[in-house]
């Protein structure tokens, strides 16, 4: 259901109200009178609704006053027949060219009798006849069921209007017979025309129209109920015929002035679709000479101009999907490393490049990224494309990135796509194009940090083959810097060796801190957040580094759970033993304290630099 109203009037509502005010006194045009029942409507009725793609509906005026859908039914029934027969199947029955003639002209192709498009009556009757059904009642039921999905609730037929249409609709019956004559309709046309009369007599209000439009804007899925009303691949066909033929024979002027696919009906309704943005429904029954609601046309033109909705209005600047690029020399992973390894990354980390992408990736926004990667490719060992901040990606964009990955892998460059499982298109298309083995390799790291850490490990292995060697001497720990031999002996006497198996917890987030850990061998990972799926590895630590210093020093809770990545050996300094040093060996105590403070300062410098990079970027 639509969300509850905010406690304050939205500026959007105010804009819609100002449009009601602007055109309330406009009494140009006349209500439809070609069937007597339509002429009974209150001509001053006026409602406007705008539905968003998350199902919020802004509505002003007579937005819940019902009227008959009339020609607005045409694109929807066309969509249903596309779902039944496909684009090519329907193309054999109805064209997609504007006729240049009025809606009730009998514009049939000279040779095949094919109506020029599904928005003129001839095309719409032909379309209704294509809806698959064994009998007229089933056909009507399928049409009503389709409208229910678009509107989000069952719609009724106005019996009086239907009967009025049925009594007077001789021209449409003639069209039916002509279509039968050309074998566009292959059975008795009379029941088809009858269903057509009924579909035109379906009752809707502006709220319905806005949601029906929003469903088309939303790839065919109702934004409130999430029900699918039409296959996604047929939406662009429906919108295209609305764009070229939706507003009777002022469709060219409409697309020029308003610039969005729309459909009007002689009942006084207009429905307009902003693909990916909004659905709009307007009701005001006075019509211009072409059969379009006078006020609705003006409201749409004003909205299009005020809200910059014209579909052919190029954006002020091209969208960019390139969020940030950095090398591992500029910002490395969260692995704390021994000074020797850190220096290696500073020297050679330029060969690892990270492209963070953002937003909705289309081919146009992906292309510049591919170009930039290729221009740097000769200097690369590893490329990471991180999708953490991507909100959507087109299949064509994944294909382009997959082709890029394939090309780079052929050159011996490691390619990783991280946070890629967020968008299901990525694993699917990468596997389709490169096969499951290459896809598994490219997608093997979920997080950017893990991917970067792995690329760094490879780089360090190439330059420092002994990187993961065991710490054999206490003097090699950063905690022991500056200690004399005798002072170091005091420290050594306090250190207890502990071993942890792969996956074993060393400390838990939130625990009181009783110890400081000096890593002798293996790698320790720091995890934050609740356990299971939502836990996140925020840092890791190589041999020689100390871990747990923050809580050890400030007495606060552990900031992370520490887990052995593999078999880990630590030298452990207990807090009680350390505190006792304050009185027994104050000089050793102060030196260790200073080394801890220096380690914290180093981590703080790093964190500040990362934060600076993150917040300064762009």
Residues 402-441 that bind its own copies (CB under 8 A): 403-404, 407, 411, 425
Token digits for 565? 């990545």
Is 598 a residue that touches its own copies (CB under 8 A)?
Answer: yes
In whole angstroms, how close is the CB of 563 to its own copies at the nearest point?
A: 17
In whole angstroms, how close is the CB of 521 to its own copies at the nearest point?
A: 26
* Count of residues in contact with its own copies, rule CB under 8 A: 127
Q: Nearer to its own copies by C-beta: 99 or 457?
A: 99
Part of the chain binding its own copies (CB under 8 A), chosen from 16-24, 183-191, 337-345, 586-594: 586-594
In whole angstroms, how close is the CB of 417 to its own copies at the nearest point?
A: 15
Q: Nearer to its own copies by C-beta: 314 or 465?
A: 314
Residues numbered 228 to 247 that lie near its own copies (CB under 8 A) are 235-237, 239-241, 243-245
Token digits for 275? 């693909």
d(CA 481, CA 222): 66
Q: Phi/psi class of residue 373: alpha, beta or left (left: φ > 0; alpha: ψ in -120 to 50)?
A: alpha
Per DSSP bridges, beta strands 335-336 and 536-541 are parallel
Q: Nearer to its own copies by C-beta: 204 or 423?
A: 423
In whole angstroms, how close is the CB of 439 to its own copies at the nearest point?
A: 17
Query: How does DSSP assign 525-573, residue by residue?
Result: EEEESSSGGG-EEEEEE-TT-EESHHHHHH----SSEEEESSSEEEEEE
Token digits for 359? 């937003």
Q: Nearer to its own copies by C-beta: 20 or 593?
A: 593
Residues numbered 338 to 397 that lie near its own copies (CB under 8 A) are 358-360, 362-364, 367-368, 370-371, 374-375, 377-378, 388-389, 391-396
* Beta bridge partner(s), residue 322: 357
Q: In what order do the strands lie in the sheet with 47-52?
A: 57-61, 47-52, 278-283, 269-274, 262-264
In whole angstroms, how close is the CB of 375 to its own copies at the nearest point?
A: 5
Q: Nearer to its own copies by C-beta: 75 or 543?
A: 75
Do residues 287 and 34 make contact, with C-beta atoms less than 8 angstroms apart?
Answer: no
In whole angstroms, how close is the CB of 318 to its own copies at the nearest point?
A: 5
Q: Element (H or E) spanning 505, and its range?
A: strand 505-507
d(CA 224, CA 586): 69
In whole angstroms, how close is the CB of 79 to its own copies at the nearest point?
A: 13
CA-to-CA separations, 116 to 121, 237, 290, 498, in angstroms, rounded: 10, 15, 18, 83
Active-site residue flag, 248: yes
* Catalytic residue (choose from 58, 78, 248, 477): 248
Helix, strand, or coil here: 314?
coil
Among 113, 129, 261, 543, binds its own copies (CB under 8 A): 261
Active-site residue flag, 196: yes
Do residues 127 and 77 make contact, with C-beta atoms less than 8 angstroms apart?
Answer: yes
Among 21, 101, 183, 347, binds its own copies (CB under 8 A): 101
Q: In what order do the strands lie in the sheet with 414-418?
A: 322-327, 352-361, 382-393, 414-418
In whole angstroms, how close is the CB of 274 to its own copies at the nearest point?
A: 7
d(CA 609, CA 348): 19
Query: How many Cα neighbours within 13 Å face the side chain of 531?
Result: 7
Residues numbered 115 to 174 that lie near its own copies (CB under 8 A) are 116-117
Binding mask 10-29 for its own copies (x = CB under 8 A): xxx-x---------------
Part of the chain binding its own copies (CB under 8 A), chosen from 48-56, 64-72, 146-154, 469-477: 48-56
Is 514 a residue that touches its own copies (CB under 8 A)?
Answer: no
Residue 226 buriedness (CB in 10 A; 0-12 / 13-18 / 19+): exposed
DSSP 379: G
* Catalytic residue (choose from 96, 184, 258, 266): 266
Active-site residue flag, 74: yes
Q: Nearer to its own copies by C-beta: 379 or 504?
A: 379
Token digits for 227? 């029900």
Q: Nearer to its own copies by C-beta: 36 or 253?
A: 253
Q: Which stretches within 318-419 are classed as H helix?
A: 339-348, 363-376, 395-410
Among 2, 85, 142, 307, binds its own copies (CB under 8 A): 307
Query: How many Cα neighbours within 13 Å face the side chain of 447?
Result: 13
In whole angstroms, how close is the CB of 486 to its own copies at the nearest point?
A: 16
Residues numbered 266 to 285 that lie near its own copies (CB under 8 A) are 274-278
Is 528 a residue that touches its own copies (CB under 8 A)?
Answer: yes
Binding mask 312-331 for its own copies (x = CB under 8 A): xxxxxxxxx-----------
Do residues 217 and 262 make contact, with C-beta atoms less than 8 angstroms apart?
Answer: no
Q: Nearer to its own copies by C-beta: 9 or 159?
A: 9
In whole angstroms, how close is the CB of 410 to its own copies at the nearest point?
A: 10
Among 148, 559, 565, 577, binds its own copies (CB under 8 A): 559
Part of the chain binding its own copies (CB under 8 A), chosen from 173-181, 254-262, 453-461, 486-494: 254-262
Residues numbered 71 to 100 that lie near its own copies (CB under 8 A) are 95-100
Active-site residue flag, 331: no
Token digits for 86? 């496909």
* Catalytic residue (choose from 196, 251, 542, 568): 196
Integer-rounded Cα Rg, in Å, for the chain is 34
Q: Hey, which residues are catalytic here? A: 71, 74, 196, 248, 266
């Amino acid at each position: 259901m639509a969300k509850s109203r905010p406690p304050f009037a939205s500026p959007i509502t105010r804009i819609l109200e100002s449009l009601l005010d602007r055109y309330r006194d406009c009494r140009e045009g006349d209500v439809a009178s070609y069937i007597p029942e339509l002429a009974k409507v209150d001509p001053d009725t006026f409602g406007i609704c705008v539905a968003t793609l998350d199902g919020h509906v802004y509505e002003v005026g007579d937005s819940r006053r019902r009227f008959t859908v009339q020609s607005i039914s045409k694109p929807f029934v066309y969509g249903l027949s596309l779902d039944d027969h496909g684009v090519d199947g329907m193309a054999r029955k109805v064209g997609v060219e504007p006729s240049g003639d009025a809606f009730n002209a009998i514009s049939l192709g000279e040779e095949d009798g094919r109506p020029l498009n599904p928005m003129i009556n001839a095309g719409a009757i032909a379309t209704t006849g294509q809806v698959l059904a064994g009998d007229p009642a089933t056909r009507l039921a399928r049409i009503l069921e389709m409208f229910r999905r678009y509107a989000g609730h069952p719609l009724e037929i106005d019996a009086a209007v239907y009967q009025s249409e049925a009594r007077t609709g001789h021209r449409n019956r003639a069209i039916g017979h002509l279509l039968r004559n050309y074998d566009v309709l292959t059975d008795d046309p009379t029941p088809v025309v009858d269903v057509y009369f009924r579909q035109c007599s379906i009752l809707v209000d502006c709220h319905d129209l806005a949601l029906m439009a929003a469903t088309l804007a939303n790839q065919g899925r109702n934004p409130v109920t999430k029900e699918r009303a039409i296959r996604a691949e047929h939406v662009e066909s429906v919108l295209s015929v609305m764009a070229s033929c939706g507003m009777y024979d002022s469709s060219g002027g409409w697309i020029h002035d308003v610039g969005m696919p729309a459909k009007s009906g002689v009942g006084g309704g207009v429905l307009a679709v902003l693909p990916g943005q909004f659905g709009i429904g307007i009701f005001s029954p006075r019509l211009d000479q072409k059969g379009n609601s006078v006020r609705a046309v003006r409201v749409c033109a004003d909205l299009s101009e005020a809200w910059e909705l014209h579909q052919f209005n190029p954006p002020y600047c091209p969208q960019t999907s390139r969020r940030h690029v950095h090398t591992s020399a500029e910002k490395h992973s969260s692995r704390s490393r021994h000074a020797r390894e850190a220096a290696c990354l500073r020297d050679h980390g330029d060969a690892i490049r990270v492209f963070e992408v953002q937003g909705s990736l289309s081919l146009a926004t992906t292309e510049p990224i591919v170009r930039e990667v290729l221009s740097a490719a000769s200097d690369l060992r590893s490329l990471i494309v991180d999708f953490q901040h991507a909100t959507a990606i087109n299949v064509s964009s994944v294909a382009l990135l997959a082709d890029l990955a394939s090309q780079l892998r052929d050159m011996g460059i490691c390619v990783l796509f991280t946070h890629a499982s967020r968008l299901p298109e990525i694993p699917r298309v990468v596997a389709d194009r490169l096969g499951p083995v290459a896809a598994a390799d490219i997608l093997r790291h979920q997080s950017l940090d893990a991917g970067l850490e792995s690329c760094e490990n490879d780089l360090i292995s190439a330059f420092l083959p002994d990187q993961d060697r065991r710490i054999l001497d206490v003097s090699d720990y950063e905690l022991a810097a500056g200690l004399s031999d005798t002072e170091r002996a005091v420290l050594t006497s306090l250190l207890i060796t502990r071993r942890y198996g792969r996956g074993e917890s060393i400390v838990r987030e939130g625990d009181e801190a009783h110890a400081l850990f000096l890593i002798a061998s293996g790698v320790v990972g720091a995890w934050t957040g609740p356990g299971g799926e939502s836990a996140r590895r925020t840092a890791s630590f190589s041999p020689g580094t100390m871990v747990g210093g923050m809580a050890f020093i400030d007495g606060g809770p552990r900031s992370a759970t520490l887990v052995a990545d593999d078999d880990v050996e630590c030298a452990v300094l207990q807090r009680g033993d350390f505190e006792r040093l304050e009185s027994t060996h104050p000089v050793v105590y102060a030196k260790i304290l200073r080394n801890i403070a220096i380690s914290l300062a180093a981590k703080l410098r790093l964190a500040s630099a990362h934060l600076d990079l993150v917040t300064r970027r762009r």
